[in-house]
Amino acid sequence: MTINQRNEAKIMSKEAFQAVGLKWEGTFAEAGAGGIRAIHRMLQERLPEIPYAIHTDTLLGLSYHAFPDGEGFIHYGVVEVERIEEIPAGMVSLSVPALTYAACEHSRQHSIEQSYNNIYSWIHEQGYTEYNPDHLTHFEKYPMSQDPYADNPEFIIMIPVQTDQAGK
């Protein structure tokens, strides 16, 4: 079956921010088996413990390649915070620099794999290059109220890019 799917993409910037939440590390197969979903559910349950949380209606999923070209990666299920003074037990904090992203919405009726293929194709068609500070490969924004175990989640895909191409 061929999937004919369009994802409208755009360039957007996000200022540097700090976040607090949970860390997961594993393989792509373990992620596919639900490992990340469990972290997202735990973050939803523990959200009231996070001091100075802002934008609490949005769960941020940040993925970093643990080893470039490897089988594993690190994923953080976090919420943005105004400042970091104390970190709840078992949680971590991280800082993300100001970045420019290629972004698109992934809808329930779409294929997740195709949404990612579409955004990466769009990045290359526009002449942009992927930019992975500290090995950050992608960033997803989920509605905090969404069930992490839903078969067809909705979220926004954000890929860090460099847009200052010569001749553009």
Q: What is the spatial distance between Cα 71 and Cα 160, in angstroms, rounded to a whole number?
A: 21
Residue 68, pLDDT score: 57
Residue 25, pLDDT score: 93
Residues lower than pLDDT 70 in the chain: 1-3, 66-70, 165-168
Q: What is the spatial distance between Cα 69 and Cα 132, in angstroms, rounded to a whole number?
A: 13
Do 53 and 84 contact (CB within 8 A), yes or no? no
pTM of the model: 0.90
Question: For the segment 40-83, what is each residue's pLDDT rounded down to a tens digit?
Answer: 999 999 999 999 999 999 999 999 986 656 678 999 999 999 99
